Amino acid sequence: MEENIPNLLNQLTPIHSNRASRVDSLNEFQDDKLSLILFFLPVKDAFRTTILSKRWVPLRHSRVVHHFDDIQSGVNNIETWIQFCQMLDTILLSPRAQRHTLKSFHLKCQCNFWQFEHSNINQWVEAAIRRHVQDLSLFLLSRVSLTSAIFYSKTLVVLKLTNLLVETMSHYSVHLPSLKTLHMIDVHLDDMEDLKKLISGCPMLEDLKIAYVTSSVEAGVTAGGYSKPLSKLIKANIRLFDVTLRAVSNVQFLTVTEMGKSLPNQEINSYYQGYHVFENLTELRLFWFDYCIHNWYEVLQMLHYCPNLQTLSILKWTDSSTARGIEDWKHPYTVPDCVSSHLTTCKILGYHALENDFRFVTYILQNARFLKVMEIRYSSNSHRMESPRFLEDLSSCPRISPACNLSFI
């Protein structure tokens, strides 16, 4: 549609000298062309068009995409915030607006004035649901308790929630039959069991991201996370004990955070380490944090279950003084199929000049026949166990792949 805009604008030239003539020229357009112009105007400007002609009033409500950001809209005091809320009321709650379906509704609330009033947010969301919205994204600086209507929609395809409260789901069902993308970041649930219920209600899920999801009742975590296989899933970004590896074994792209974390329940721990074969996996990212045990053997073990892996990224958000791992590197007797036959990119972010890190990197360099990129991001500190030679010796380490480019960041 973008390529039509210049043609439409060219039809307005030569520009008339007075406002009435310009309005007459605009009104010569058919409704579909006027709607197209309104589509590419900022929301504020689109709704100011009513001063041009009453004919524009119904057209402005026909916009299928509404993206709102309070900061970008100039909200910087209580007066502009009230005006912003009134604009959304007019756009989303008016009877004229209810006659039109809505393709996309994004709301980003970052100013501090939202702490005074939260009720309208749920009214706007419910209005979008009634208008059969397909793409819904909510980013709220001040936590808001979310309406349950959002979890029972036949039309939602994309749902992204950031910094929200979700009350208990025990008294209603979750039914999102068309949802393909679900992202939940910094979301607080009443019970972690609700996360299982939510994912279970999304049978067509292709893209799942769960990050910093917490709950008032943590028992759900120690009982194990969501575990039913998600057969349609292509991309997953999960925390280890929120969703099991078994559930995401079908994906092509996988990110796992809090690797090396353990729970008191040893049965649950062993269940998560019971890897399934990731036949479709081509890109894998693994994150460790300060409180997790870093284990290179665990990485190699997982690689044996990723036969077609092409890209591996290891992110160690630790320092060598707190990082814990294998005391002694034991050279593996076998090489995972993906390392010898498919791996083209390997990135180590948070590399320490310690023997275990050095041994793992050299193992990859000496066995990855098709490796093109080996990227090392060194975390320098003054810990006494680190040795410069474990960084310097990498440059002279033999590489089985003649195309391999070793770089340090």
Residue type, 363: Y
Read off the pLDDT of residues 9-51 as tens digits, 9 standing for 90 and up.
Answer: 444 444 344 444 544 555 555 544 555 455 445 555 555 555 5
| Residues 375-381, mean pLDDT to the nearest whole number | 79
- Whole-angstrom distance, CA of residue 95 vs CA of residue 275: 54
Give the residue, 129 or 324, on which the prediction is more confident. Answer: 129
| Pairing mode, strands 373-378 and 311-317 | unpaired
42 close to 68: Cβ distance less than 8 angstroms: no
Is the pLDDT reported for residue 323 higher than 60? Answer: no
Instruction: Measure the CA–CA gap between 321 and 326, rounded to whole angstroms.
Output: 14
Rounded mean pLDDT, 108-131: 85
Which residues does 7 contact at the CB level (< 8 Å), separation at least 6? Answer: none
Model confidence over 340-353: pLDDT tens digits? 999 999 999 988 87
Q: Judge whether residue 119 has pLDDT over 70.
A: no
pLDDT at 133 over 90: yes
Residue 53 has a pLDDT of 54
Which residues are within 8 A (CB) of 269 and not within 5 positions of it... i.e. 6 or more apart?
A: 262, 263
